[in-house]
């Protein structure tokens, strides 16, 4: 009888020690997830055929990166979120926008959504990501 109580106590202590680490991992994963309330989008600016800058009415700013180049995005006059339930999230593998420029509408899959401070920050991130790698320029002797 006494052994059973000791083993139960050990299991309980193990759960108490491990639980905070599991909670911290879940919290970090939740912090990494970024969602946009699509009904609150007030402005957009296509920065290229791969990047889109969005502004919410609450003055939150986002940089959306498409999975692939989205031809027509650069000149888009209208965008919409496809099949959205008022939210598009960075971890949603099926989030898409519909782009309409001068031609017919085209669907483009979203690769990533991240919150940014402003448009200048979004442009700096794009420049950093699209800069050619310097690794090929170094000579090894």
Structure tokens at 77: 């006059």
**Does residue 136 carry a pLDDT above 70?**
no
Same domain, yes or no, for 46 and 65?
A: yes
Query: Residue 111 domain-assigned?
Result: yes
* Per-residue model confidence (pLDDT) at position 117: 97
Higher pLDDT, 14 or 52: 52
- Round to whole Å and give the CA distance between 8 and 135: 56
Structure tokens at 55: 């502004």
* pLDDT > 70: percent of the chain: 70
Query: Residue 65 domain-assigned?
Result: yes
Same domain, yes or no, for 46 and 2?
A: no
Minimum mean pLDDT among 9-13, 26-30, 77-81, 120-124: which range? 9-13
Q: Which of 106, 36, 100 is nearest to 64 (CA)?
A: 36
For residue 55, what are the CA distances in angstroms to 38, 49, 64?
Answer: 10, 18, 11
**Does residue 73 carry a pLDDT above 50?**
yes
* Per-residue model confidence (pLDDT) at position 26: 47
Same domain, yes or no, for 100 and 111?
A: yes
Helices (H), the chain: 2-32, 119-130
Evaluate whether 102 touches 75 at the Cβ level (below 8 Å): yes
Same domain, yes or no, for 53 and 122?
A: yes
Evaluate whether 54 touches 43 at the Cβ level (below 8 Å): yes
Domain count, the chain: 2
Same domain, yes or no, for 60 and 93?
A: yes
* Per-residue model confidence (pLDDT) at position 18: 43
Same domain, yes or no, for 105 and 85?
A: yes
* Per-residue model confidence (pLDDT) at position 84: 65
Query: Residue 140 domain-assigned?
Result: no
Q: What is the pLDDT of residues 14-42, one digit of tens each?
A: 344 444 444 444 444 445 789 999 999 99
Domain that residue 82 falls in: 35-130
**Does residue 94 carry a pLDDT above 60?**
yes
Same domain, yes or no, for 2 and 26?
A: yes
Higher pLDDT, 45 or 77: 45
Same domain, yes or no, for 68 and 98?
A: yes
**Does residue 49 carry a pLDDT above 70?**
yes
Same domain, yes or no, for 23 and 42?
A: no
Same domain, yes or no, for 56 and 14?
A: no
Kindly indicate the confidence band of residue 92, based on its pLDDT and cuts at 50, 70 and 90: confident
Structure tokens at 109: 């899959």
Same domain, yes or no, for 15 and 65?
A: no
* pLDDT > 90: percent of the chain: 45
- Round to whole Å and give the CA distance between 70 and 126: 15
**Phi, psi of 33, deg, nearest 5:** -75, 125
For residue 115, what are the CA distances in angstroms to 53, 62, 105?
Answer: 10, 4, 26
Same domain, yes or no, for 2 and 47?
A: no
Query: Residue 141 domain-assigned?
Result: no
- Bridge partners of 94, per DSSP, are none
């Amino acid at each position: 009888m006494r052994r059973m109580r000791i083993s139960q106590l050990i299991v309980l202590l193990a759960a108490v020690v491990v639980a905070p680490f599991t909670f911290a991992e879940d919290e970090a994963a939740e912090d990494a997830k970024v969602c946009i309330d699509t009904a609150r989008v007030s402005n957009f600016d296509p920065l290229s055929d791969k990047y889109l800058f969005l502004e919410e009415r609450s003055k939150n700013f986002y940089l959306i990166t498409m999975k692939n180049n989205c031809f027509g995005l650069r000149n888009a006059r209208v965008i919409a979120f496809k099949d959205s339930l008022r939210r598009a999230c960075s971890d949603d593998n099926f989030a898409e926008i519909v782009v309409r420029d001068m031609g017919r509408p085209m669907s483009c899959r979203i690769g990533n959504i991240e919150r940014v401070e402003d448009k200048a920050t979004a442009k700096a991130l794009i420049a950093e990501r699209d800069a050619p790698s310097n690794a090929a320029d170094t000579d090894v002797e």
